[in-house]
Structure 1
Amino acid sequence: MVSLTVGCSSTKNAQNSKDKVLQPKEVMSVMQKVADWQIADIREHNIVSDDWTYGALYTGLLAYGNLSGDKKYDDFLIDIGNKLDWNTGKHRFMADDYCVGQMYSILYSKYKEPKMLAKFIPQADSIIANPHTESLEFKGDVYNREWAWCDALFMAPPALAYLSTATHNIKYLNIANKLWWKTTNFLYDTAEHLYFRDSRYFDKKEANGAKVFWSRGNGWVMGGLVRMLDNMPANYPNRAKYETLFKQMAKKVASLITSDGTWHASLLDPASFPSKETSGSGFYCYALTWGIRHGLLPYKEYFPVVEKSWDALVASVHPDGKLGFVQEIGAAPGKTTYDDTQVYGVGAFLLAGTELYLLETHK
């Protein structure tokens, strides 16, 4: 009897702890801790970057900063923009190098300072002018001109879509739409409802014989997908097609969450990389929560997945605010440890937390 009583008390305490993690005040608190740790680390190392890794971080800082109402986050990002002279990376047609355009467009929509888009607009116009007729087979330097790898669908299409919103010019959304489906038609596995990272993985197999589908790679896609929808008019011709794709992926992804509350680096062979992984998981938590909040996913079916994943993400935050278990930069599944962190993981964490806060406060 004593053992049973202790067990029930322990279960109740665990549930109460999980419920507390989901409370809006707690969500805001852990986001602030993670955001402030990351900014302090950047300042300590004097980093000013237009790199895709930081471009992903900036999206999360923008979302959290807007939610918190604390202008220090916008001020930090505006300072970065000024130091970069509001320019993107040196490879003008490579998706990674204009991921930072998302930040520029979002800040322009808020502050209306022409310098924020003065260099990105002509770059986007030159992207539109390109023929985009090459094969997406991953060889040579095709990645410098085409979206030939699935990660690109977070880096580039949202940058152009946010530019479309900022300038009220549909042509930027139209080119993003055109190239989104070119990449999807090439890399999306219609049987598994997941994306291959690039053509080199079409015939590769995991240790258990399953196809190789990288967690963060598909997380990039789902994050990019909802950010496209965020900038797409309700009557946009292909909107229903995006929503169908989103629902297909969401159903598959939700079915693959592991017992520890994360999606391991290899989606179809999680045992081959048994540690938690928080960057792909952060993007899935973000996208699924967004889907619930926008009425595309049923709450009863998907919120338990969100709840489980957010609890695991919060448990991966160090006491000082550092986010752990982030797979290092790569192109395929890999191992993680408690001390592994990267800025894009923080971006995903902040996007997920922002959506969760909005969902929990607008029920």
Structure 2
Amino acid sequence: MKLTLRILMFVFAMWYPAPGVSAGNTMSPEPPFKSEEILSIMHRVADWQLRAWDREGYGYGRADWVNSACYTGLYATGVLEGGEKYLHALLDIGNKLNWDTGHRRFYADDYCIGQTYAQLYMTYGDKKMITSFTRQADSIIGKPNDEPLHWGNNIQYREWAWCDALFMGPPSLAYLSTATGNPEYLNVACRLWWKTTDFLYDEKEKLYFRDGSYFGQKEKNGAKVFWSRGNGWVVSGLARVLENMPSDHPDRVRFEKLFKAMMKRLASLQQPDGSWHTSLLDPQSYPVKEMSGTGFFCHAFTWGINRGLLDESTYLPVVRKAWKVLVSAVREDGKLGYVQPVGASPGKVDADSTEAYGVGAFLLAGAELYKHMINKDATEQ
């Protein structure tokens, strides 16, 4: 049965109103916090991405992680008011792919799209949307997954050996678990999440290394190398796994503890302009705002506030600053700039650089802000 947009709009929480935007090449410094203005900017950014795909093609391929990460945000936008065209765009993508994932069966990047397939299935109820991914997921959870995670020997094609994988793989299995009612997909996702965490998580810094090759590396200031988008993948993926985890799941408390610890640490690393630079512990090494990491962090912070996991009075100012800088990176035509190119470590970014995953992060953040505002408006009536 198709989910109603009205129910989806009122489930969670949102924001305080503030001034809108003005004309010009980019959005004005004061971000819009009214629900209709948030939605307007989301549509502006999403529409630019749809036009870019029509104009330039999908680059890495429709099923590639670069675009699949964007689909998560398009779906989040599509289930809000006036978002039907984004769902239709996703249906068209799925049909053109015959609802298949990438060709490398155990490579998390290649089945990132599975989470969107599962969400579309829960919206429309068409079994073909998850038939192929369900077969693939059965093979993923059926293999031993017992290799060491040391970087090399193409380990990424067989295990979740890099932190980005925690956005690509676990949420896909978790959403499939919800869609099918089979808890084993979620249970294996949890087990493999902790395997990756035991290897890559720095307990002292409360951050993840990108992969094992970064353990001994240092920034110019002598700090350890922790990549902004890499940790953005983690906390956004963490939120999406928790979204599908029953309250009485045996791993729930442990996941929540990790989430809260990371968000506290990340709040302390936010820059004065509201962004996070590509290097979390040496922000001056690349002293420019970066929108993919910032977008994923904003999504996770707002999601945590909306679900009651993060204290609103503590973290709402973090979200306000983050949303302000995200909006500042949107051009009048809807292009989101300051998105670090495809990579694996801190690096350069400029006003013209963009990628579809940055759009996905922006839309995920905006969707949580919108729902927060809708809920706030409803409770005040």
> Structure 1 length normalisation: TM-score?
0.94
Q: CA deviation at 1:19?
A: 6.4
How far did 1:21 drift?
Answer: 1.5
Structure 1 partner of 2:332: 319
Following superposition, the deviation at residue 13 of structure 1 comes to 8.7
Counterpart-to-counterpart distance in 1, 2:291 and 2:151: 27
Pick aligned residue for 1:263 from 252, 256, 276: 276
Partner Cα distance (1:208, 1:186) in 2? 24
Gaps of 5+ in 2: 1-17, 23-27, 377-381
User: In the aligned structure 2, how far is the partner of 1:42 from the partner of 1:272?
Assistant: 33
- The amino acid of 1:293's aligned partner reads N
2:133 paired with 1:120: yes
Q: In 1, Cα distance between the equivalents of 2:220 and 2:273?
A: 21
2:59 is the counterpart of 1:49: no
Q: Residues 19 and 31 of structure 2 are in contact (CA less than 8 Å); yes or no, is this contact kept in structure 1?
A: no
Q: Work out which of the residue numbers 10, 24, 34 in structure 2 matches 1:23.
A: 34
Alignment partner of 2:336: what SS? coil
Q: How far apart, in 2, do the equivalents of 1:306 and 1:94 lie?
A: 33
Q: Is the CA contact 2:48–2:335 (under 8 Å) kept in the aligned structure 1?
A: yes
* Partner in structure 1 of residue 94 of structure 2: 81
Residue by residue over 1:305-359, the C-alpha shift from the partner in whole angstroms, topping out at 9 and shown as x without a partner, is 1000100000000110000000000000011100000000000000000001111
Larger helix percent: 1
Given that residues 163 and 211 in structure 2 are in contact (C-alpha distance below 8 angstroms), is that contact kept between their aligned partners in structure 1?
Answer: yes
Which of 145, 151, 173 lines up with 2:186 in the alignment? 173
How far apart are the structure 2 equivalents of 1:316 and 1:109? 33
Deviation at 1:261, TM superposition (A): 1.2
- Residue 32 of structure 2 aligns to a residue whose secondary structure is helix
Any idea what the Cα deviations from partners look like across 1:258-309, whole Å, max 9, x if unmatched? 0121000000000001011000000000000011111111111100010001
The answer on 1:100 being equivalent to 2:113 is: yes
Per-residue Cα deviation, 1:196-226 (whole angstroms, up to 9, x for no partner): 0000000100000000000000000000000
Q: Is the 8 A contact 2:31 2:324 kept in 1?
A: no
User: Do residues 220 (structure 1) and 220 (structure 2) align?
Assistant: no
| Equivalent-residue separation in structure 2 for 1:283 and 1:329 (angstroms) | 15
**Secondary structure, in 3 states, of the residue corresponding to 2:89?**
helix
Work out the number of aligned pairs and report it: 352
Is the deviation greater in 61-70 or in 196-205?
A: 61-70
- Give distance in 1, aligned partners of 2:100 and 2:355: 23
What are the residue-to-residue correspondences of 1:313-352 with 2, within 5 Å? 313-352=326-365
Deviation at 1:24, TM superposition (A): 1.3
Structure 1: how far apart are the matches of 2:214 and 2:111? 25
Paired with 1:13 and 1:22, the residues of 2 have a C-alpha distance of 7
Match of 1:287 in 2: 300
Deviation at 1:18, TM superposition (A): 6.6
For 1:67, the equivalent position in structure 2 comes to 80
Distance 1:355 1:13 in 2: 19
Which residue, 237, 246, 251 being the options, matches 2:259? 246
Could you tell me the percent identity over the aligned residues? 56
Q: What is the SS of the residue equivalent to 2:105?
A: coil
1:12-39 deviation digits (Å, cap 9, x = unpaired): 999x977662121211110010000100
For 1:139-180, what per-residue CA distance to the aligned partner results, in whole angstroms no more than 9, with x for missing partners? 111100000000000000000000001101101101101100
Q: Using a 3 Å threshold, how does the CA distance of structure 1 residues 190 and 66 change in structure 2: closer, same or farther?
A: same
Q: Which secondary structure does the structure 2 equivalent of 1:106 belong to?
A: helix
Q: Relative contact order: is structure 1 or structure 2 higher (C-alpha 8 Å, sep ≥ 6)?
A: 2
**One-letter amino acid matched to 2:56:** H
Residue number in structure 2 paired with 1:277: 290
Q: Deviations over 1:111-142 (max 9, x none)?
A: 11111111111100001111011000011111
Distance between the aligned counterparts of 1:348 and 1:227, measured in 2? 13
Letter in structure 1 aligned against 2:176: L
Letter of the structure 2 residue corresponding to residue 66 of structure 1: V
Tell me the SS of whatever aligns to 1:68.
Answer: coil
| In structure 2, distance between residues paired with 1:152 and 1:294 | 24
Q: Work out the CA distance in 1 between the residues paired with 2:187 and 2:19.
A: 51
Alignment partner, residue 208 of structure 1: 221
Which range moved further: 41-50 or 204-213?
41-50
- Which of 49, 55, 68 is the equivalent residue of 1:38? 49
Alpha-carbon offset, residue 362 of structure 1:
1.6
TM-score (norm 2): 0.90
In 2, Cα distance between the equivalents of 1:162 and 1:44? 31
Q: Distance in 1 between matches of 2:197 and 2:364?
A: 23
- 1:90 equivalent in alignment to 2:142: no
| Equivalent residue number for residue 199 of structure 1 | 212
Q: Tell me which of 130, 147, 154 is aligned to 1:134.
A: 147
Query: Structure 2 CA distance, aligned partners of 1:328 and 1:208?
Result: 23
Shift of the alpha carbon at 1:68? 2.4
